Structure 1
Amino acid sequence: MECIAKLSGLTKEYRNGRGIRNVGLELYKGDIYGLLGPNGAGKTTLLKMMTGLIAPKQGSVTLFGHNTEQSFAAAMSKVGCMIESADFYDYVTAGQYLKSVASFYPNVQKERIHEVLEIVGLTANVKEKIRHFSTGMKQKLALAAAIMPYPELVILDEPTNGLDIEGIVLFRELVTRLSKTEGITFIISSHMIHELEQLCNRVGIIYEGALIQEGNVSELLQDIPSLEQFYIGELQKAKGGPRIV
């Protein structure tokens, strides 16, 4: 399998004691990798390090063979991302916003705007101002921006926040389709364990800044009926208590 992302020994600690410590993982082409962990465990910090928004105190991030500290533009050239909550200028329309996003990518033509809006189900809202969008619609627009540059790796932090059941199902179908047909690799942080179980082929669990467990979902669940039970059991072990199965 082709390794497209390698994280080695990533460490970043904040004054409040949070952060991540000596985290390493690899992503392979076509992976849908789910990142699980309690609030404050370090999931967003890890994803921000992957995108260069935070510099690690120690460790390195290599994307498509390029170290992000040494060759940031080359490393990020095939990456799309949506980190934390979707933020927009409310006075512009969805189409205007995506046009501004497209201007950062020389290989993206204006036709791509309509393509990504259709993919996320916002075609009818192209001329609507973002201030009228629901939270779920803003999440969809952020996802459209993330896939705008024909990425080979997409990094998503809580992408289903604010989506209704229909929106969550459509998101799952979209990610599955893009992974299978385009070979896009995804790493997704989410609290929705049931969705990740259906969507991901690999998962990793972060607790108090450390990657305490990872592996193929099918292998991890050989003797446990659900990813939720596996997750709770791993947290109990990490806390030093009895494992719940």
Structure 2
Amino acid sequence: MKPILETVQLTKMYRNDRGIRDFHVQLYPGDVYGLLGPNGAGKTTFLKLITGLIRPDKGTVALFGASIAEQFEQGMRHVGCMIESADFHDFLTARQYLQLVARYYPGIGNSRIEEALDVVGLAKAKSDKIKHYSTGMKQKLALAAAIMPEPKLAILDEPTNGLDIEGTVMFRKLIKRLSEQKGMSFIISSHMIHELEQLCNRVGIVVRGRLIKEGCVSELLQSNQSLEQYYIDQLRLAGEVSESA
């Protein structure tokens, strides 16, 4: 089976010595991949690199066999994403915003826009101006934009930030349904580790810009500990937390 995402020696370093070094990642059809790590570890940098938002210092990114550096449109054709905090044209309504996003994808009609708003719980507020939305509602709208084109791969950076309990449950059920019924793959960066344990079949742990551990959740948890405890143990081994944590 060919990977839908492959990075080789992917490196991007900033002047403050943050960034990522030598990332080797492969993602396969049907994977739900969780990206874990402390604040500033390099998770968002990695997501920006694989979507072409920033250029690497070294290494390559291939999406669906296409080089992001040389065949950007071909590689991103089947990708939906929400990276960092949601940012919108606040004078638009939610429906108008998705109509704007839909112009970048062929074949998206009003019915698909309405469906995307409905599945994230914004059907009743679709005609409201975005400037009146709460942080959680803006996160839902960003998620709607990411899944609206029914991509083969969705890249989600902290998608549950600002969501209440109901919204978090909605998110979990939606990801499971899209993965199981539509065969959609996901990369999800999140601090909601209990959610990732329920959603992901694979995880990668990033510390100080390096991918220190990667594997199937079922294999990493053979000792029956939680993913949270496994993560803390890895941070302890990396010297990121004290032995008493």
> Cα offset for 1:92?
1.0
1:1-245 matches, cutoff 5 A: 1-239=1-239
User: AA paired with 2:218?
Assistant: S
When the two structures are aligned, how many residues end up with a matched partner?
A: 245
Distance, in Å, in 2 between the alignment partners of 1:95 and 1:139 is 15
- Answer whether contact 1:36 1:203 (CA < 8 A) is retained: yes
Distance, in Å, in 2 between the alignment partners of 1:135 and 1:211 is 30
> Cα offset for 1:147?
1.1
> Cα offset for 1:243?
6.7
Distance, in Å, in 2 between the alignment partners of 1:142 and 1:207 is 27
Give the TM-score taking structure 2 as reference length. Answer: 0.97
> Cα offset for 1:125?
1.1
Question: Relative to structure 1, is the Cα distance of residues 243 and 5 closer, same or farther in structure 2, using a 3 angstrom cutoff?
Answer: farther
Distance, in Å, in 2 between the alignment partners of 1:125 and 1:18 is 40
Higher mean C-alpha deviation, range 145-154 or range 208-217:
145-154
User: AA paired with 1:129?
Assistant: K
Question: Relative to structure 1, is the Cα distance of residues 104 and 224 closer, same or farther in structure 2, using a 3 angstrom cutoff?
Answer: same
Question: Relative to structure 1, is the Cα distance of residues 110 and 233 closer, same or farther in structure 2, using a 3 angstrom cutoff?
Answer: same
Give the TM-score taking structure 1 as reference length. Answer: 0.97
User: AA paired with 2:94?
Assistant: A
Question: Relative to structure 1, is the Cα distance of residues 227 and 129 closer, same or farther in structure 2, using a 3 angstrom cutoff?
Answer: same
User: AA paired with 1:69?
Assistant: A
> Cα offset for 1:7?
1.1
> Cα offset for 1:107?
2.1
Distance, in Å, in 1 between the alignment partners of 2:107 and 2:244 is 51
Partner-residue secondary structure (3-state), 2:238: helix
> Cα offset for 1:96?
0.7
Runs of 4+ in 1 over 3 A off after TM superposition: 240-245
- Answer whether contact 1:79 1:152 (CA < 8 A) is retained: yes
Distance, in Å, in 2 between the alignment partners of 1:86 and 1:225 is 34
Partner-residue secondary structure (3-state), 2:46: helix
- Answer whether contact 1:11 1:59 (CA < 8 A) is retained: yes
> Cα offset for 1:59?
0.6
Structure 1 spans left out of the alignment, 5+ residues: none
> Cα offset for 1:27?
0.6
Distance, in Å, in 2 between the alignment partners of 1:166 and 1:125 is 16
Partner-residue secondary structure (3-state), 1:239: coil
Distance, in Å, in 1 between the alignment partners of 2:116 and 2:143 is 9
Partner-residue secondary structure (3-state), 1:222: coil
Structure 2 spans left out of the alignment, 5+ residues: none
Distance, in Å, in 2 between the alignment partners of 1:69 and 1:144 is 27
Question: Relative to structure 1, is the Cα distance of residues 232 and 52 closer, same or farther in structure 2, using a 3 angstrom cutoff?
Answer: same
Output the aligned Cα RMSD: 1.5
- Answer whether contact 1:102 1:110 (CA < 8 A) is retained: no
